[in-house]
Amino acid sequence: MSSAIRRALLFMPGDDRKKIEKASSLGVDSVIMDLEDGVALNNKPAARETVAHALREVSFGRSERLVRLNPTSQIDWCEEDFDHTIAGRPDGYVLPKVESAADIATVDGWLTTAEQVHGWPHGSIALIAIVETALGVVNLREIAGAAKRLQALAFGAEDLAGDMGATRTLEGWEGFYARSAVVTYAKAFGLQALDTPFIDVKADESLLVNDAERAMQMGYTGKLAIHPRQILPLQQVFTPTAAQIDRARRLIAEHDAQQAAGVGVFTFEGKMVDMPMIRAAQSVLSRARAAGIRV
């Protein structure tokens, strides 16, 4: 199954039907109904029922319907989350605090069985893994290749800082190695890379945009969101502009023409062109296609 467009993925607490309904009307790429950190411990049973009903009853429009489970380290909760929501056939599950291939294999096995039982196509329900512990970062290689239905790796800076005893800063240098590692392994295995949420919802929008642009420049294809006002800025950052798309198309066309004429090195808009510039242009067009733009 091809990966969905995921520039902005909005978390909504699984125990709040009104917020889920609100999210479904916002045009966000993905709505993540949260059964983990967004739900109090004593309200998890009610949250499972709320999400199960929302999957059956709420129209999400073009938004992808995702469910965040509890981690497999809390296997009873995780399995109850899955058992209560699978009949609603979400588009995918988000698995937090992934630390090994075994974590992925557990949920992949449940999904394979459910697809067989319900007569759904094998692999039709996606998996997204959030890497947010030191052990998860160390085991990125085995995690990234753990299952064919795994479509994306997401980075979780807040939990990683807590796990490492680090101090979160606006600049994010305490998590820079992990942030780089997640996107590197995602791209090495042909997966989408989703950046950590920007948690200061009261901050000036320019700070959110700067953080998202830095992630995009690193190779991330989208970012997790925790407030509706973050959706539009994030979707704009991860969508190339018309001018960027036009320039990329013209550069690649000129490169192809020069290659056909037997010319290896040429100038474009006053600059010498080499292969890294061509690959950068191809990346712009790839991001445009991922955002649903015909190029």
* Annotated catalytic residue, options 83, 200, 246, 274: 274
pLDDT tens profile 33-56: 999 999 999 999 999 999 999 999
Q: What is the DSSP string of 99-141?
A: -SHHHHHHHHHHHHHHHHHHTPPTT-SEEEEEE-SHHHHHTHH
In a domain, 231, yes or no: yes
Q: What is the DSSP letter of 145?
A: T
pLDDT band at 3 (very low <50, low <70, confident <90, very high): low
Rounded average pLDDT over 260-266: 86
Q: Are residues 213 and 88 in the same domain?
A: yes
pLDDT at 1: 37
Q: Which residues contact residue 64 at a Cβ distance below 8 angstroms, ignoring those fewer than 6 apart?
A: 4, 6, 9, 29, 30, 31, 91, 92
Q: Which domain holds residue 210?
A: 8-237
Q: What is the pTM of this model?
A: 0.91
Would you say 29 and 6 are in contact if contact means Cβ atoms under 8 Å apart? yes
Rounded to an integer, the average pLDDT of 4-26 is: 96
The confidence score (pLDDT) of residue 186 equals 98
- CB contact set of 72 (below 8 Å; sequence gap of 6+): 78, 95, 102, 103, 106, 107
What's 151's domain CATH number? 3.20.20.60
**What is the residue-averaged pLDDT of the chain?**
95
Element (H, E) at 10: strand 8-13
Q: Determine which helix (DSSP H) or strand (DSSP E) holds 150, and give its type and residue range.
A: strand 150-155
83-115: pLDDT as tens digits: 999 999 999 999 999 999 999 999 999 999 999
Whether residues 180 and 75 share a domain: the answer is yes
Better-predicted residue by pLDDT, 201 or 264: 201
Examine residue 260 and state whether it is found in any structural domain, yes or no: yes
* Catalytic status, residue 274: yes
> In this structure, are residues 108 and 147 in contact, taking their beta carbons and an 8 Å threshold?
yes
pLDDT confidence of residue 196: 98
Question: Is there a single domain that holds both residue 141 and residue 75?
Answer: yes
Domains in the chain, number: 2
Do the domain assignments include residue 56? yes
Look at residue 269 and tell me if it is in a domain.
yes
What pLDDT was estimated at residue 85? 98
Q: Is residue 12 part of a domain?
A: yes
